């Protein structure tokens, strides 16, 4: 299994690298999502290509928790949803009263898709049908829950209308499979392993969002965008499904050494093929996607790389 290979590779490199090697921690998410393999893949790239550095991917509660880890210096890099990053940086919404001013971006790596899954036999056909049901809204402290709450509230649905349960991706898939819940949300780069595994064992339905539901969500959250899941992405999915997309951002603390931030950014964009080999979501790891989608200022080291390659950088990404 690829994830196990990361652990073996990191363990071997820990022996091979000198004791003076800089230790880098990458905060990711649960093992059933995309953050962990993407973070593990990037850690492997760092270990292979940046001299005197050793990186490891850490399992976390994902976006919201990761902002705190970066703020406190308990992680060196972190993956997080754009809306979570923006709220943390501006001290708004879920971060009101606890603004995290020391967040800086290296890149926007790929878009998430807010995916709502139920069994094919279910009577849930739209988000309105969630009323009165048992629904997983994502792990505590995750970007999934922030996205779900925003999507539902923008369309007049509150937690009081159903029974919200806070499961991680693997727990959500297991609970749907076993009939313990009626539906579950994922905000993750598609395709994701936990939905793939669920769809391989049970007939499932991906719930699409209407044009009106998407318009309502876009009005409420500026980093949301329409996104289409391709037909055939999961077993039994015969047609495309219209959902919402949100960029995922690779962030660091503003105190990170500029040269290190430059090397990390250069590595990400000049050896992207290595990350694509880990997960297809990295096909969207492009300079254009970063420039168009990143919601907070870039770290000076990242800025130096983008200026070096001649990218046109908007003022919002500069301090």
Please say if the pLDDT value at position 5 is more than 50.
no
Q: pLDDT category, 236, cuts 50, 70, 90? A: very high
Q: Are 254 and 118 in contact (CB under 8 A)?
A: no
Please say if the pLDDT value at position 15 is more than 60.
no
Distance, in Å, from the CA atom of 154 to the CA atom of 159, rounded to the nearest integer, reads 12
Number of domains observed in the structure of the chain: 2
Question: What pLDDT score does 12 carry?
Answer: 44
- Name the helix (H) or strand (E) containing 24: strand 22-27
Q: Are 191 and 215 in contact (CB under 8 A)?
A: no
Distance, in Å, from the CA atom of 183 to the CA atom of 204, rounded to the nearest integer, reads 10
Please say if the pLDDT value at position 248 is more than 80.
yes
Distance, in Å, from the CA atom of 153 to the CA atom of 47, rounded to the nearest integer, reads 43
Looking at residues 241-262, what average pLDDT do you find?
A: 96
Mark whether 78 and 17 lie in a shared domain.
Answer: yes
Residue pointed to by tokens 């790239």:
45
Measured CA to CA in angstroms, residue 259 lies from 124, 264, 291 at distances of 51, 9, 20
Last residue of a domain, one of 230, 246, 262: 246
Residue 233's nearest CA partner among 244, 241, 245 is: 241
SS3 42: helix
Mark whether 271 and 293 lie in a shared domain.
Answer: yes
Distance, in Å, from the CA atom of 195 to the CA atom of 167, rounded to the nearest integer, reads 14
Average pLDDT, the chain: 92
Q: pLDDT category, 10, cuts 50, 70, 90? A: very low
Mark whether 137 and 180 lie in a shared domain.
Answer: yes
- Percent pLDDT > 70 in the chain is 94
Mark whether 229 and 81 lie in a shared domain.
Answer: no
Distance, in Å, from the CA atom of 227 to the CA atom of 205, rounded to the nearest integer, reads 17
Q: Are 190 and 283 in contact (CB under 8 A)?
A: no
Please say if the pLDDT value at position 124 is more than 90.
yes
Looking at residues 89-107, what average pLDDT do you find?
A: 94
Last residue of a domain, one of 228, 246, 264: 246
Q: What is the pTM of this model?
A: 0.76
Please say if the pLDDT value at position 178 is more than 80.
yes
Alpha helices, H only, the chain? 2-16, 35-49, 63-72, 82-90, 143-154, 169-178, 193-201, 211-220, 258-270, 272-276, 287-293, 300-308
Q: pLDDT category, 20, cuts 50, 70, 90? A: low
Please say if the pLDDT value at position 144 is more than 50.
yes
Mark whether 278 and 213 lie in a shared domain.
Answer: no
Residue 59's nearest CA partner among 48, 72, 69, 47 is: 69
Mark whether 35 and 133 lie in a shared domain.
Answer: no
Q: Strand 225-229 vs strand 204-207: parallel, antiparallel, or unpaired? A: unpaired
Q: Are 67 and 85 in contact (CB under 8 A)?
A: yes
Q: pLDDT category, 2, cuts 50, 70, 90? A: very low
The CATH number of residue 150's host domain is: 3.40.190.10
Mark whether 152 and 224 lie in a shared domain.
Answer: yes
Distance, CA of 185 to chain centre: 14
Residue pointed to by tokens 């022996």:
15
Last residue of a domain, one of 185, 219, 246: 246
Mark whether 209 and 125 lie in a shared domain.
Answer: yes
CA atoms within 13 A on the CB side of 63: 29
Mark whether 221 and 254 lie in a shared domain.
Answer: no
Which residues form the domain of 100? Answer: 2-109+249-317
Please say if the pLDDT value at position 142 is more than 90.
no
Mark whether 236 and 254 lie in a shared domain.
Answer: no
Mark whether 226 and 191 lie in a shared domain.
Answer: yes
Peptide bond into 308 cis (omega under 30): no
Question: What pLDDT score does 18 carry?
Answer: 47
Mark whether 189 and 123 lie in a shared domain.
Answer: yes
């Amino acid at each position: 299994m690829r994830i196990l290979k990361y652990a073996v590779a990191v363990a071997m490199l820990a022996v091979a690298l000198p004791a003076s090697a800089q230790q880098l921690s990458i905060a990711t998410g649960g093992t059933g999502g995309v953050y962990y393999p993407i973070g593990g893949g990037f850690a492997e790239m760092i270990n292979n290509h940046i001299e005197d550095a050793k990186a490891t991917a850490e399992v976390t509660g994902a976006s919201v928790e990761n902002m705190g880890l970066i703020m406190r210096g308990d992680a060196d890099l972190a993956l997080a949803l754009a809306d979570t990053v923006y709220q943390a940086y501006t001290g708004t919404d879920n971060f009101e009263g606890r603004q995290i001013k020391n967040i800086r971006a290296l890149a926007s790596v790929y878009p998430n898709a807010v995916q709502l899954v139920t069994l094919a036999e279910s009577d849930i056909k739209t988000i309105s049908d969630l009323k009165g049901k048992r629904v997983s809204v994502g792990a505590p402290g995750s970007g999934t829950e922030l996205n779900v709450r925003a999507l539902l509230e923008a369309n007049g649905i509150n937690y009081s209308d159903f029974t919200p349960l806070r499961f991680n991706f693997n727990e959500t898939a297991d609970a749907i499979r076993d009939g313990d819940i009626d539906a579950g949300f994922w905000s993750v780069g598609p395709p994701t392993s936990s939905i793939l595994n669920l769809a391989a064992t049970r007939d499932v339905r991906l719930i699409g969002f209407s044009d009106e539901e998407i318009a309502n969500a876009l009005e409420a959250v500026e980093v949301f965008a329409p996104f289409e899941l391709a037909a055939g992405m999961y077993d039994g999915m015969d047609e495309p499904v219209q959902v919402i997309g949100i960029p995922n951002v690779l962030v660091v603390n503003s105190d990170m050494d500029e040269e290190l931030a430059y090397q990390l950014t250069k590595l990400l964009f000049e050896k992207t093929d290595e990350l694509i080999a880990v997960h297809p979501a990295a096909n969207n790891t492009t300079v254009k996607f970063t420039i168009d989608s990143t919601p907070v200022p870039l770290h000076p080291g990242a800025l130096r790389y983008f200026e070096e390659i001649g990218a046109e950088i908007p003022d919002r990404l500069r301090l």
